[in-house]
A and B are shown apart, each in its own frame.
Chain A
Amino acid sequence: DAGITQSPRHKVTETGTPVTLRCHQTENHRYMYWYRQDPGHGLRLIHYSYGVKDTDKGEVSDGYSVSRSKTEDFLLTLESATSSQTSVYFCAISGRANTIYFGEGSWLTVV
């Protein structure tokens, strides 16, 4: 258990509504990441953070924003959810460079 908690674990929302997913870690790791996982694709990086208030875009960042006001929390926000954002979202953390540890996932359905 990597000390990562994601919430909510499951959510159904309507197109056009804002959604925020939360990732909480108890490991005090510097790096935190948000990925999405879809059939036929490997895990794809959305955004990541390398410290409090320090974030950067990943491969599929359009339509997503993030915030990190505390070391332990990393929030992913869909400002206006679309059906293409229906996915499984994983938070990950790393203390040692390159090796990342994943949370249990958040299943999001946009209808």
Chain B
Amino acid sequence: GESVGLHLPTLSVQEGDNSIINCAYSNSASDYFIWYKQESGKGPQFIIDIRSNMDKRQGQRVTVLLNKTVKHLSLQIAATQPGDSAVYFCAESPYTGTASKLTFGTGTRLQVTL
């Protein structure tokens, strides 16, 4: 299948460097945030999530930072690898007990150069 979002902002990083992908959200009532990774021709893959009562959460090679004051979310990928090349997008939601209120961003394309 073809890629979706052909005119996305692109972040180009060298293999081994750290990547920082940013997301601005608009709803001050959002209480829950998720980062997804989407490779070409595939479905979005859950990476990491964070609730609004936290400002940082770490996973394997990934860290999500939340700044509620300026409504900003970032995803940090340590030691970026070629397999990290994909589109990354954030999602936000009021924590309603259902994902029906999730709002998705359009994404950033990460290109890893050798």
A residues with a Cβ closer than 8 A to B are 4, 9-10, 31, 33, 37-45, 48, 50, 56, 58, 88, 90, 92, 94, 97-105, 107
Contacts and interface: CB of A to CB of B under 8 A. Distances in A.
A86 to B, nearest CB: 12
Nearest to A97: B97
A44 B4 CA distance: 13
7 contacts: A4-B43, A10-B1, A31-B98, A38-B4, A50-B98, A98-B49, A102-B44
Contacts of A9: 1
Nearest to A10: B1
SS class of chain B's interface: helix, strand, loop or mixed? loop
Interface residues of B, number: 31
Nearest to A105: B43
Contact of A105 (B1, B32, B97): B1
A105 B42 contact: yes
Interface in B93-109: 93, 95-100, 102-107
Given A40-B7, A40-B106, 13 more contacts: A39-B4, A39-B7, A42-B89, A42-B104, A43-B104, A45-B102, A97-B97, A98-B32, A98-B102, A100-B102, A102-B43, A102-B44, A107-B2
Nearest to B44: A102
Contacts of B91: 42-43
Contacts of B93: 98
B66 interface: no
B100 A42 contact: no
A99 B43 contact: no
B97 to A, nearest CB: 4
Nearest to A102: B43
A32 to B, nearest CB: 10
A9 B44 CA distance: 15
Contact of B106 (A42, A94, A98, A102): A42
